[in-house]
Amino acid sequence: DRRSLGSTQKPSGVLVGHTEGITYVSAKGDGRYVVSNGKDQAMRLWDLRKMRSNSEFERFEHNHYGHRGFDYRYGTYPKPKNSAHPKDCSVMTYRGHQVFRTLIRCHFSPMETTGANYLYTGSSDGKIHVYSLDGRIVQVLDRSGTLPISYDPSESEPGQTVGNRAPVCVRDVSWHSQEPVLMSVAWENGERSSSVARHEWKGIGKLGDQMARLEDYVERQKQERAERSTRPSARQEEPSRSMPGSFELEEEEEDQYY
User: Phi/psi at 89 (nearest 5 deg)?
Assistant: -120, 15
- Structural domain tally of the chain? 2
What integer pLDDT is reported at residue 234 of this predicted model?
Answer: 47
Q: Per-residue DSSP letters for 132-153?
A: ETTS-EEEEEEGGGBPPTT--T
What integer pLDDT is reported at residue 145 of this predicted model?
Answer: 76
What integer pLDDT is reported at residue 235 of this predicted model?
Answer: 46
Task: Write down which residue in 95, 113, 143 finishes a domain.
Answer: 95
Task: Write down which residue in 45, 73, 95 finishes a domain.
Answer: 95
Q: 118 and 210, same structural domain?
A: yes
Condensed to tens digits (0 to 9), the pLDDT of residues 20-67 reads 999 999 999 999 999 999 999 999 999 999 999 999 999 998 898 998
Q: 156 and 80, same structural domain?
A: no
What integer pLDDT is reported at residue 257 of this predicted model?
Answer: 38
Q: 115 and 40, same structural domain?
A: no
What integer pLDDT is reported at residue 249 of this predicted model?
Answer: 38
Helix (H) / strand (E) element for 30: namely none
What integer pLDDT is reported at residue 141 of this predicted model?
Answer: 93
Q: 139 and 86, same structural domain?
A: no
pTM exceeds 0.75, yes or no? yes
Local structure of 237: helix, strand or coil: helix
C-alpha atoms less than 13 angstroms from C-alpha of 87 in its C-beta half-sphere: 16
What integer pLDDT is reported at residue 157 of this predicted model?
Answer: 58
The domain of 113 spans 96-258
Low-confidence ranges of the chain (pLDDT < 70): 1-6, 149, 152-166, 189-191, 205-212, 232-258
Q: 169 and 240, same structural domain?
A: yes
The reply to whether 1 falls in a domain is no
Q: Which residues contact 28 (CB under 8 A, 6 or more apart)?
A: 34, 35, 108, 111, 116
Task: Write down which residue in 95, 116, 140 finishes a domain.
Answer: 95
Q: 88 and 112, same structural domain?
A: no
Q: 224 and 128, same structural domain?
A: yes
Q: 139 and 224, same structural domain?
A: yes
Instruction: Give the separation between CA 244 and CA 258, rounded to whole angstroms.
Output: 9
